[in-house]
Amino acid sequence: MHTSPLDQPGTGDAGGMNVYIVEVAKRLAGRGVEVEIFTRQTCRDLPPTVELVPGVTVRHVTAGPYEELDKGDLPSQLCGFLSGVLRTEAAYDPGRYDVIHSHYWLSGQVGWLAKERWGVPLVHTMHTMAKVKNLLLARGDKPEPVVRVLGEEQVVEVADRLVANTATEAGELIDLYGAPASRVEVVNPGVSLQVFKPGSKPEARARLGLPHDAYVMLFVGRIQPLKGPDVLLKAAARMVAEDPALRSRLLVAFVGGLSGNGLARPSHLTDLAAALGIGDIVRAAPPAPQHELADWYRAADVTAVPSYNESFGLVALESQACGTPVAAASVGGLRTAVRDGVSGTLIEGHDPRVWAGALRTLADRPAWRGVLGRGARDHAAAFGWSATAGRLLEVYESTIRLARARVAAGL
């Protein structure tokens, strides 16, 4: 409900979840499953339906004003969104849908009521959870509101299946939300191995206009406190302070747009870089389409993911698929997405001094980076989207069978 799969990931509320839905939908369609995606219409000129690929239809539902709403205001539009979803189904013969898969808690609320109306099972993926985020807040970030916590608890209670991205997330659903373990399934997200693959570093740098001899540390994602861009900037400043000669070859690149609480301080990144005295070695670029994003990963020496919380961490997986090792915070799904000491390094906490030490080690040991790069490529190869879609299809089929058996038994 709060973001469209047609939006460019890396800005606004578009991120890993958008990629997940698009890639899974395409591969389900390739297996003969017809997929319809309902999303809120955010522009008057958008057509009612868009064919993403044959077998995948995106339906734009009018719910509230067309201009962008703050995510915090979207609960007030749940009724309007639900009405549009139900009207669409009512225009067809009964039994059009076999299963509902809702993503994020707002859509879970709509899925809950559609499930009751249509008599079909509900599968839900949280992607992020309020209770987890509130335990791991970045400095300057706001806690998630009580209304979201309550909404998530309701969805956990009514969903027929809960799909967790990792075993860690499954444990959080069980421990923090009281989800029955029998209703939780782990399905790892994937990566597009046809797009994100190793390539020539010099050629990638030439296409992006980056110095051929620089040491490039890359950040990809939405610019907001949750993602920890400040951690990377402060670590880079410490690296330069400890070794002034490093300044001549260090480049810190940020690829992404403002999002969440980051919107309140649009110039924060450049202001902080200037205050730290490293504005001259920082480059900011807007969100990039996948083929260009792959070039950024290939051009980098290391991709930094200093997030305070990640349900999985697709950026880490994309970078590794391109053969670029990752330095990531040891939180949430990043512990699964990155294999410590094999495909990258996991860093405890968000102390810039610790991050500077880890990043400096990678900078000083090119041979070790090469070993990690080869390990990164091999690690990512096990996470194709086809495997994700296949596992989800198994979850759908088993959930449908169980729901039908319960109906037959009069339960």
Whole-number Å distance between alpha carbons of 188 and 383 = 7
Annotated binding site: 2, 8-9, 13-18, 71, 104, 128, 148, 222, 227, 297-298, 300, 310, 318, 324
CA distances from 3 to 8, 26, 45, 385 (A): 10, 18, 17, 21
Residue that has been written with the tokens 């410590």 in this structure: 340
Per the annotation, where are the binding residues for Mg(2+)?
297-298, 300, 324
Token pair 């997330």 is found at 169
- Residue 275 CB: number of other CB atoms within 10 A? 11
* Binding residue positions for UDP-N-acetyl-alpha-D-glucosamine: 8-9, 16, 222, 227, 310, 318
Q: State CA 306 to chain mean position distance.
A: 14
| Cα–Cα distance, 129 to 339 (Å, whole number) | 24
Amino acid at 128: T
Are 27 and 385 spatial neighbours (Cβ–Cβ below 8 Å)? Answer: yes
| 342 burial via Cβ count (<10 Å: 0-12, 13-18, 19+) | middle
Name residue 279's amino acid: G
> What is the C-alpha end-to-end distance of the chain, expressed in Å?
31
Burial level of 292, CB count in 10 A (0-12/13-18/19+)?
middle
3-state secondary structure 263-292: HHCCCHHHHHHHHCCCHHHEEEECCCCHHH
- Binding-site positions for 1D-myo-inositol 3-phosphate read 2, 13-18, 71, 104, 128, 148
